[in-house]
Amino acid sequence: IVCVGNTKMMDAVGAKWEPCEKNGTIIHVAVNGEYVGHIVISDTIKEDSKDAIAALRTEGVEKTVMLTGDRKEVGAAVAKELSLDEYHAELMPADKVNFLERLIKEKSPKTNLAFVGDGINDAPVLARADVGIAMGGLGSDAAIEAADVVLMDDKPSKIAKAISIARRTIEIAKQNVVFAIFVKVLVLILAGFGIATMWMAVFADVGVTILVILNAARTLKA
């Protein structure tokens, strides 16, 4: 019987594991209850990750938290390099959901919580977050299906850009709603006093439609 996993699994099968001083995810291996060694897997931080965190703060993101299944040493090193506000390491999928629930309770009702992930273990958290963002290039199918937004090129810097585009789109949509209602109500009032003409009615219908479409086309510039 070959067992491959973390120290908890080694303890469960009675294998006397040895610690590793290297940073990374340590995968221990035991055969028939006898410890045979370990493998170190170390992820590399994406080139634009630091810029992505800075851009998120520029967009008004108040708090950045990392939830990872890696060792505490790895989580601490990554959190320090990226200047994250908080990190939690050595988490199982259920632990991530519990931490997310806590963060949701702590945040203001007027704010939203977004979670970014790419693994199959992130799917429950992506589904629970207000906004789930998955990495589409290397992400698992489960993560992509559970997410609300998918980054097809796996660049974290695109998160801030997506927020900017979303805010601009909502702003333009609100402008269109206010403008259309204002013009139609104005023409309706004028019609009630017998002042509105046929051309005013045409403008309130066709003219307003054309104007709001042209205004909405500004989102393409993003």
pLDDT mean values, one per 10 residues, the chain (222 residues): 91 91 84 92 84 92 90 87 92 90 90 89 90 82 88 88 91 96 93 88 92 93 74
pLDDT of residue 175: 96
pLDDT at res. 96: 92
pLDDT of residue 139: 67
Q: What's the pLDDT score for residue 136?
A: 77
State the chain's maximal CA–CA distance in angstroms. Answer: 94
Q: What pLDDT, on the 0 to 100 scale, is given for residue 110?
A: 87
Q: Which of 209, 219, 204 is nearest to 172 (CA)?
A: 219
State the pLDDT at residue 36: 94
Q: Indicate the helix (H) or strand (E) that contains 174.
A: helix 157-192
Give the Cβ contact number of residue 179 at 10 Å.
14
- The residue among 98, 103, 32, 93 whose CA lies nearest residue 65 is 103
Question: What pLDDT score does 222 carry?
Answer: 67
- The confidence score (pLDDT) of residue 104 equals 92
> Exposed, middle or buried: residue 132 (CB in 10 Å: 0-12, 13-18, 19+)?
buried
Structure tokens at 42: 């170390």
What pLDDT does 70 receive? 81
